[in-house]
A and B are shown apart, each in its own frame.
Chain A
Amino acid sequence: MRVLLVDDESDLASALAERLDMRGIEADWVDSGQEALERAATVHYDLAVLDLKMPKIGGLELKARMQARYPHMKFIFLTGYGSEKDFETVANDSGEQCYLVKPVEIEDLIRLMNILTQDAGGRP
């Protein structure tokens, strides 16, 4: 499984990527939506972990654009903001409850990643 982490807080993204690496998950990180699109064009990712609120290209927009190009990709959102509206939007859009509120437990994140990717594998 190869994962792309996108968060404007590069300290967070870099640390998280390193921790995932340590657990055998290949993780790259970028700190903007633009960079993420560029990186995804060159590398094949199974899953992207997106910060919901980022400057210029927000999490939801980024997901839409990436999903259009790479339909196989799964997405997990991270948010420090827990308004009902955000959750509803995410839930309606993806049809799944694939979001986590910061600060996240790494075990929770990995569990969710596994669920999503196993689901994808199970589909025809």
Chain B
Amino acid sequence: MTWLSHIKPDFWSVRPNSPGASRYMFNYRRIWKWSVLLTGIVSLIPLIFITLVDYKVTEQAFESEFRLRAARLVSNTRRVVGFFLTERRAALDFIARDNDPQALTDPARLAHILEGLQKSFGGGFMDLGVIGADGQQKTYVGPFSLQDKDYHEQAWFQMVVDRGVYVSDVFLGFRQVPHLIIAIRQNMANGSFQVLRASLGIGPFEDLLSNMELGGLGDAFMVNGRGVLQTNSRYFGRVLEPMSLPVPEYHPSTQVVDGLSSTGEKLQIGYCFIEDTPFILMIVKKNQDLMRAWHRTRLELILFLVFSVTLILGVILGTATYMVHNIHLADEKRLMSLHHLEYSNKLASIGRMAASVAHEINNPLAIINEKAGLIKDLFTIKQLYAGDAKLNSLVDSILASVKRAGKITKRLLTFARNLEATVEGVQLDELVREVFSFVDKEAQVRDIHIEVDVSPPGVAIRSDRGKLQQIFLNIVNNAFAAVEDGGHLRVKVRHEEGNDGVVLSFCDDGCGIPPEDVHRIFEPFFSTKTGKGGTGLGLSITYNLVHEIGGRIEVVSEVGKGTCFTIHLPNDIGHERMKA
């Protein structure tokens, strides 16, 4: 999860129950979560809703478009098929009216008429026959030998006799070839009648149906009312076989319905009953093929949704993180200045107290000094008790202690005086040694070796003595916390090469700082001494102080080897900066 730790914003680690979280004004995780959630809801829900509506509307539009197209195709085909049959029936009707019944029984005349029909109407007419009222074929012209065949028991013959006109469905008949017949009753003057019958092959139908633009995988065919195929079908059987789909219910107009194939595939079935014929025209398409275009559109819609949602989520996450990160930064800055103020106040109080303590102690100390000095004078000048070595050494000891106490109070006074912001000439070696005088007791006790190397000796800059003292003290304290007993602290002061300033380095051989923490040590509240009394403010205050006096601070550290703080300071910070 290291990549996560790289992109994880700082505020994420501030948990409500983590140490120090109560310092912050807000619960950043909660703000982030709520802003992501609310912005997400108000931007994503309308998008998803609109996309779903669009999805549904487009799907319905596709469906109704396909239905409309199927219905139009079925209607057009019905008109063509209907016209084909009507035209041929009208031709027979015309022949019956135009020719004397007797003349039609003449094979030569009939053959001449058939030839005319075949030439005028193209394909379709296979043969012609004249059947007497007794059902006996009187005359026949055509490729089959059907002369004298008896049709009086055939159902269709009765239908012609009853209705006058008859169009059959497709059957094999005597010739054993799929065909259909159109028959017309021709009444004769003597009250009898004869039947003029023509047979048509199914070729023209199949040509008509195969010429339709079904688009790829559609199927168009005709069935009769009993579900027997009247033309070959691509998927549902051969001519005169029963169709593998249910027979549609009668309806006077074109219908488009949903259906299922025997294998369970969803189908769209368009059909219509062709008037005055036994035929039902059916156009069947597989839903899957029809909806292919819709599937492409659907995929585009889904991709659009996924892309939009990703983009919106990305923007929301980015904006929320940026916003909360900035609030967190502002809050940290606020806290930092509060703490800085608190620190300065505390330091000022300590300064005042130190000065007051030093003053209070200095007066009695001065009395002791003078009294002991007087005793010493009595011994040495007046030569009283001059030979008493013990008394002399006692007085010397008192005077030495007074001197020592006086040094301490003077150091306290210097410390307090330094807290007042003034720009003055500061001798860096003197100041560094002064700072070490605060910790030399600890250094002695812990056997910490301190080396101060100032070159050239007496190097001085114009700066704020008090701030420099705080900076050095903070870094020295930090080093003391890092080194083991018997460790080393090396301070070097040098003129900066090619630059108008000085460089101070404080190097210890302590525990060092892990690489992942190095860049964070100047951040406020970052502490490795959490729970051990560290506020995490020492180095951050040091960093600010260095900047305030126009310098910069760098750190190099290696775990187990030690840490080096390098401070670059200008030779003269000038008065303008101090006023600012």
Docked complex: B405-435 residues within 8 A CB-CB of A: 406, 410, 413-414, 416-417, 420, 422
Contact partners of A19 in chain B: CB under 8 A: 370, 373-374, 377
B520 within 8 A of A: no
A33 CB to closest chain B CB, in angstroms? 17
The contact size tier of chain A is: 20 to 34
A47 and B371 CA atoms in complex are apart in Å by 22
Docked complex: A1-40 residues within 8 A CB-CB of B: 9, 11-12, 15-16, 18-19, 22-23
Residue of B368, B382, B402 with most partner-chain A CB within 10 A: B368
B362 touches A101 (CB 8 A): yes
Residue of A9, A15, A22 with most partner-chain B CB within 10 A: A15
A44 and B363 CA atoms in complex are apart in Å by 28
B414 touches A82 (CB 8 A): yes
B365 within 8 A of A: yes
Taken residue by residue from 92 to 124, chain A's Cβ proximity to chain B (1 for < 8 Å, 0 otherwise) reads as 000000000111101000000000000000000
A31 CB to closest chain B CB, in angstroms? 13
A81 and B355 CA atoms in complex are apart in Å by 7
A12 and B364 CA atoms in complex are apart in Å by 8
B359 within 8 A of A: yes
B369 touches A104 (CB 8 A): yes
Contact partners of A80 in chain B: CB under 8 A: 358-363, 366
Residue in B closest to A53 when the chains form the complex, CB atoms? B359
B402 touches A84 (CB 8 A): no
- Number of residue pairs across A and B with beta carbons under 8 Å? 75
Query: Residue A82 contacts which of B355, B361, B367, B370 (CB distance < 8 angstroms)?
Result: B355
B413 touches A82 (CB 8 A): yes
* A15 in contact with B362 given A82-B413, A101-B410 (CB within 8 Å): no
Contact partners of B359 in chain A: CB under 8 A: 80-82
A59 CB to closest chain B CB, in angstroms? 14
Residue in B closest to A14 when the chains form the complex, CB atoms? B370
A19 and B374 CA atoms in complex are apart in Å by 6
B389 within 8 A of A: no
A22 and B383 CA atoms in complex are apart in Å by 12
B506 CB to closest chain A CB, in angstroms? 28
Residue in A closest to B370 when the chains form the complex, CB atoms? A15
A101 touches B371 (CB 8 A): no
Docked complex: B525-558 residues within 8 A CB-CB of A: none
B381 within 8 A of A: yes
Residue in A closest to B402 when the chains form the complex, CB atoms? A103
Residue in A closest to B362 when the chains form the complex, CB atoms? A80
A16 touches B413 (CB 8 A): no
A12 touches B363 (CB 8 A): yes
Docked complex: B331-388 residues within 8 A CB-CB of A: 355, 358-363, 365-371, 373-374, 377, 381-382
Residue of B367, B377, B403, B422 with most partner-chain A CB within 10 A: B367
A104 and B368 CA atoms in complex are apart in Å by 11
Query: Residue A102 contacts which of B355, B363, B417, B422 (CB distance < 8 angstroms)?
Result: B363
Contact partners of B414 in chain A: CB under 8 A: 82
Contact partners of B355 in chain A: CB under 8 A: 81-83
A12 and B366 CA atoms in complex are apart in Å by 7
* A9 in contact with B377 given A81-B359, A84-B420 (CB within 8 Å): no
Contact partners of A101 in chain B: CB under 8 A: 362, 410, 413
Residue in A closest to B419 when the chains form the complex, CB atoms? A84
Contact partners of A82 in chain B: CB under 8 A: 355, 358-359, 410, 413-414, 416-417
26 intermolecular pairs with C-beta atoms under 8 Å apart: A9-B363, A9-B367, A11-B371, A12-B363, A12-B366, A12-B367, A12-B370, A15-B371, A18-B377, A19-B374, A22-B377, A22-B381, A23-B381, A80-B361, A80-B366, A81-B355, A82-B355, A82-B358, A82-B413, A83-B355, A83-B413, A103-B366, A103-B369, A103-B370, A103-B402, A104-B369
The 10 A-B pairs with the shortest beta carbon distances in the complex, nearest first, are A80-B362, A82-B413, A15-B370, A103-B369, A102-B366, A81-B359, A103-B366, A102-B362, A80-B359, A15-B374
Apart from A22-B381, A81-B355, A101-B410: 8 A-B pairs, beta carbons within 8 A: A12-B367, A18-B377, A19-B370, A19-B377, A83-B417, A101-B413, A102-B365, A103-B368
